[in-house]
Amino acid sequence: MPTKQRLDRDGIAMRVAKELPDGAVVNLGIGIPTLVSQYVPEGREILYHSESGVLGCGPLADPGEEDIDLINAGGQFLKKVPGMAFFHSADAFAIMRGGHIDITVLGALQVSERGDLANWLYPERGIGNVGGGMDLAVGAKRVIVAMEHTDKQGRPKIVRECTYPLTARECVSLIVTDLAVLEVVKGKGLLLREIAPGWTPQEVQALTGAPLHIAPDLKEIEL
Amino acid sequence: MPTKQRLDRDGIAMRVAKELPDGAVVNLGIGIPTLVSQYVPEGREILYHSESGVLGCGPLADPGEEDIDLINAGGQFLKKVPGMAFFHSADAFAIMRGGHIDITVLGALQVSERGDLANWLYPERGIGNVGGGMDLAVGAKRVIVAMEHTDKQGRPKIVRECTYPLTARECVSLIVTDLAVLEVVKGKGLLLREIAPGWTPQEVQALTGAPLHIAPDLKEIEL
Amino acid sequence: MPINKVVPSFREAVADIPDGATIFLDGFGGPGGMPHFLILALWEHGAKNLTIISNTAGIAMAAGFGMPGGKRYIDHSILIESGQVRKVIASFPVTANPSVLCAAERAWREGKLEIETVPQGTLVERIRAGGAGIPAFYTPTGVGTLLERGKEKRVFNGREYLLETALTADFAFIRAWKADRLGNLVYRGTSRNFNAVMATAARITIAEVDEVVEPGGIDPDHVHTPALYVKRIVVRPPDDTPILAETYEARKRERGRV
Amino acid sequence: MPINKVVPSFREAVADIPDGATIFLDGFGGPGGMPHFLILALWEHGAKNLTIISNTAGIAMAAGFGMPGGKRYIDHSILIESGQVRKVIASFPVTANPSVLCAAERAWREGKLEIETVPQGTLVERIRAGGAGIPAFYTPTGVGTLLERGKEKRVFNGREYLLETALTADFAFIRAWKADRLGNLVYRGTSRNFNAVMATAARITIAEVDEVVEPGGIDPDHVHTPALYVKRIVVRPPDDTPILAETYEARKRERGRV
């Protein structure tokens, strides 16, 4: 039996990268999602969209090459690559809300078993950055959450009902964590499809705040 | 006493041209309104907008120079002039509906004493081109109507109530005809401000389907 | 695999259009923004019971709108003449001159075509809304006119507005100037008009272009339609004979199609 | 008279801004789209009781968002610090890190500043609506969240939407790359973002630009903001010392302003 391990942030990003099909239009959120693009296999061409008003984002700019007029939604500097297109924010969000993003990958504070997403407000702070997350969550054809399975205190981030304020209801279709890959099945709940090396479904269930259905073809996560 | 005369189409356009102040944003409708721009005094710079998606229209193209990608709303070919800007139709109409046109000059089938405008549908045809007239009529800061005072049968086009289907209600502020210049005064009706050479207010009233108030400083139309 | 949206022929570009489809089609009026070759391919394809959403119902062929001396191009009139169209939603359904009948007015008089007349600004804003995920919006245009019939009226800040709903389509036929293989488009001059908006609101947007350039051949600050909106690109041949009105008349006779 | 919208100084460009004004101000976050010199001029002008509508409430100065190594520029934080601002409507009111407080969060905690948080897409669409004569529209964004409070909900085609109303402002502070004397503007890259939308929805739009070119110096197919939206243009000096955070700190001490 292999040693029990949790995926690291790059491991989560690698697993998510396999979900991006050739030619897809993709928006990557801040945090772990940002790491995803570097793990997309060579030769697969993806059109990355950013709320900063750009389609066709390439890799990050090299140090010394930063251009203040070429940033992503996280404020990182982008390299200028052939085939990009710039647009203003009303157009950037028309793309999102209008259903033109095939896949968005977002971080989360909590996800419920129905696919409710909470990722913008710590109630104790009393104020938060709603940003473009709500538009992405309601607009993208497929919402994938990439996050740690539990929070810093070890509490489950996958729950029956979110206690953090919602970003959108019933929007998440896949959750990729450091322990598991879970599908949100409409009207049924969470389906455990893949599991980190060395873990048992019971162990993952113990760290999950909602009941898991086990896929008949449950597999180990491959990166 | 001068000979009684009606202004011709160019005369009407000349009189309207005096209403366009330096620097104004102006949209000229099809017909007599199109003639207006050529009578704006040299040195007065106007920004002409057209629903075809252009700001800064200059004169018409010379024969042999026509470019199918450079037309005005009437399908006439425009000369390419410095300082133009092209935009798509949603932006062209956002400009109109959003109140960014200072003055529009439109033709009319009828205008009522309250400034109701009818200019798009002959009921006997049963179908008509609504085009951009409704957007202009509700959106422009000032709507000037340029038309003949009477129709081909000699019937008044200025009336108490329009019998033709409306383009917009209470939108016209000035009417320039071949006989008179009339202001639509909110809550009061029509004020006869200028009159064609040789005509008396009574004669103009006889050709008008709504009561006229005579301006204390009534003048002869000067071109 | 490198993205390459270029399709080899107009025939292939329209091959999957089913009977009953709704199609956006530019043509502000004149030939500049008109996807002539796609229209011709659809005529040859023969799909029926179509709904066409366009600024005009096809008036250039009848009235010569925006056409320089001599040449006459086809427009969507040919789809109406051939009986492929059930309904047109347009702002300029007829010619300016009541004695010059376009195909749409003729078919409408004969009860063979439904026509919905929409103010131009409302038409294009409804299409923009369709592409932007806005199901409905309020507009001052049309209040107090025949066209307010059946529409919800509501007052904001003391002024009346009408509720208008979004328009989407199964296909958009777009006419652009340049494309790259990813689908980024640029238009020329006033031919951008409805094209750039319709491209955003159809399930499948097909662009008829003069030229395909390499990615990077269009400055990213100058792109009018970002690549994600475009599914197929077809290049117009340099020879415009197939889309001349005379060629169409000859072909029509040849095939016995009216 | 030839149209010439170029104003000689930032001071003159903002001189007529009254207390209580509402101001659009870009700055997607970083310095690229930020009208620094207009902000500084407004700080010196001193108008009070302002409402600022912006993507952020001024986070770049505190958090360094989108700033290349070393340099720190001012942002609208300086107007909040000086007590000139009553209310901010923003999508990113605070920094990502709860332990890094921007001026807005500090003022909000002290009860000196009202903050309205709006989803980014809704914020920019409300501004677009303001410029486009659309008083209100429906959007799916925010349904089922805290931000639906007090908003009308309505079902279209089986899905719930919120009614959102248009936003306009008295002034828009725009940061563009090039202008011509008529007011046509082009932006560079991602710095177009809110700027090009805000320019359409203010009574008086003031553009801070790098360069003014002759009419014709901008290709009409490349114009991002058509001239009619712009009332005043001011050229940024080549030296950015005045807008560096350190310069501001020094001036603030000098003048005894907090």
pLDDT, position C1: 87
pLDDT at residue C68, rounded to an integer? 84
| Cβ–Cβ contact C192 with B under 8 A | yes
Residue C241 in contact with partner chain D when CB distance is under 8 A: no
Domain presence at residue B1? no
By three-state DSSP, how is residue B47 classified? strand
CB atoms D124 and A89 under 8 Å: yes
C-beta neighbour count of C3 within 10 angstroms: 17
pLDDT bracket for residue A137 (50, 70, 90): very high
User: pLDDT-derived band of residue D68, with 50, 70 and 90 as boundaries?
Assistant: confident
Q: What is the pLDDT of residues A19-28, one digit of tens each?
A: 999 999 999 9
* Whether pLDDT at B205 is above 90: yes
Nearest to D157 among C125, C135, C188 (CB): C135
Clarify whether A51 is annotated catalytic. yes
Confidence of residue D67 (pLDDT cuts 50, 70, 90): confident
pLDDT on residue B2:
61
Task: Return the pLDDT at C65.
Answer: 86
Which of the residues A84, A89, A101, A138 would you substitute to probe the C interface, choosing the one with the greatest number of C C-beta atoms within 10 Å? A84
CB-count burial class (<10 Å; 0-12, 13-18, 19+) for A187: exposed
pLDDT digits (tens, 9 = 90+) for C151-164: 999 999 999 999 99
pLDDT range class, residue C29, cuts 50, 70, 90: confident
Single out the catalytic residue among B19, B51, B113, B183. Answer: B51
Whether B1 shows a pLDDT value over 60: the answer reads no
CB contact under 8 A, A85 and C220: yes
Residue C1 Cα, gap to closest chain A Cα (Å)? 5
* pLDDT tier at A4, thresholds 50, 70, 90: confident
Query: B49 to each of A78, A117, B94, B105, how far by Cα in Å?
Result: 37, 46, 12, 12
Q: How far is A4 from chain D (nearest CA, A)?
A: 32
Q: D136 CB near a chain C CB, below 8 Å?
A: yes
> Could you report the predicted ipTM of this complex, rounded to two decimals?
0.97
Percentage of chain C surpassing pLDDT 90?
A: 91
Cβ contact, residue pair D128, B49, below 8 Å:
no
For the cut 80, the answer to whether the pLDDT of residue D256 exceeds it is: no
Q: Does the structure show a pLDDT above 80 at C86?
A: yes
Is residue A143 scored above 60 in pLDDT? yes
- What number of C-beta contacts closer than 8 Å exist between B and C? 151
Residues 151-190 of C with CB under 8 A from D: 156-157, 159, 161, 165, 186-189
Size of interface A-C (CB pairs under 8 A): 75
D196 touches chain C (CB under 8 A): no
Beta-strand ranges (E) seen in B36-136 are 47-50, 54-55, 85-86, 103-106, 110-112, 117-118
Q: Which contiguous run of DSSP H or E holds residue D109?
A: helix D103-109
Token pair in block for residue B162: 């329009």
Question: Chains touching chain D at 3 or more Cβ pairs under 8 angstroms?
Answer: A, B, C
Domain count, chain B: 1
**Inter-chain contact C227–A56, Cβ cutoff 8 Å?**
yes
Q: Give C63's pLDDT tier (boundaries 50, 70, 90).
A: confident
What's the pLDDT at C70? 79
Q: HSE-up of A174 (CA within 13 Å, CB side)?
A: 20
Evaluate if residue B58 carries a pLDDT over 80: yes
For the segment A174-190, the average pLDDT, to the nearest whole number, is 97
- The three-class DSSP label of residue C258 is coil
Residue at A3 is within a domain? no
Return the residue in C167, C182, C197 with the most chain A beta carbons within 10 A, the one to mutate for interface testing.
C182
Query: Which of C102, C156, C193, C198 to mutate against chain B (most B CBs within 10 Å)?
Result: C193
**Nearest chain D residue to B140, by CA:** D133
CB D119 within 8 A of CB A139: no
The per-residue pLDDT for range C40-60, each reduced to its tens digit, is: 999 999 999 999 999 999 999
Contacts of A54 in chain C (CB under 8 A): 220
Question: Would you say residue B148 lies in a domain?
Answer: yes
pLDDT value at position C128?
98
Q: Report d(CA D15, CA D27) in Å as an integer.
A: 22
**Do chain B and A touch: 3 or more Cβ pairs under 8 angstroms?**
no
Q: What is the pLDDT of residues A205-215, one digit of tens each?
A: 999 999 999 99
Angle between helices D120-132 and B89-97 (to 10 degrees): 70
Mean predicted confidence (pLDDT) in A26-52: 95
Determine, yes or no, domain membership for B140. yes
> How much is the mean pLDDT over chain C?
95
- pTM of the entire predicted model: 0.98
Question: How far is the alpha carbon of A189 from chain C, nearest alpha carbon, in Å?
Answer: 28
> Going from the N-terminus, what domains does chain D have, and what CATH number goes with each?
10-254 (3.40.1080.10)
| Whole-number pLDDT of residue C88 | 98
Residues of D in contact with C137 (CB under 8 A): 129, 134, 136-138
Q: Does some domain include residue B107?
A: yes
Taking each helix axis as running N to C, give the angle between helix C120-132 and helix B89-97, from 0 to 180 degrees, rounded to the nearest 10.
120
The whole-number pLDDT of residue A1 equals 53
Taking the CA of residue D126 and the nearest CA in chain C, the distance in Å comes to: 11
pLDDT digits (tens, 9 = 90+) for B21-49: 999 999 999 999 999 999 999 899 999 99
Split at pLDDT 50, 70, 90, the class of A102 is very high
Report which of residues C59 and C257 the model is more confident about. Answer: C59
**pLDDT of A2 above 70:** no
The Cα–Cα gap between D218 and D232 comes to: 18
**Contact D220/B at CB under 8 A:** yes
Q: Is residue B153 a part of any domain in this protein?
A: yes
For residue B160, what are the domain limits?
9-220
Under a CB-based contact definition with an 8 Å cutoff, are residues C54 and C87 in contact? Answer: no
Q: Kindly determine whether residue B100 and residue D200, on different chains, have CB atoms separated by under 8 Å.
A: yes
Tell me if chain B has a CB within 8 Å of the CB of C30: yes
Contact D190 A52 (CB under 8 A): yes
Q: Is the pLDDT of residue D14 over 70?
A: yes
B187 found inside a domain = yes
pLDDT of residue D69: 78
Chains in touch with B (3+ beta-carbon pairs under 8 Å) read C, D
The answer to the question of residue B3 being in a domain is no
D1–B54 C-beta distance less than 8 A: no
- Residue B68 sits in a domain whose CATH number is 3.40.1080.10
Interface test with C, best of B89, B109, B164 (most C CBs within 10 A): B89
pLDDT score at D154: 98
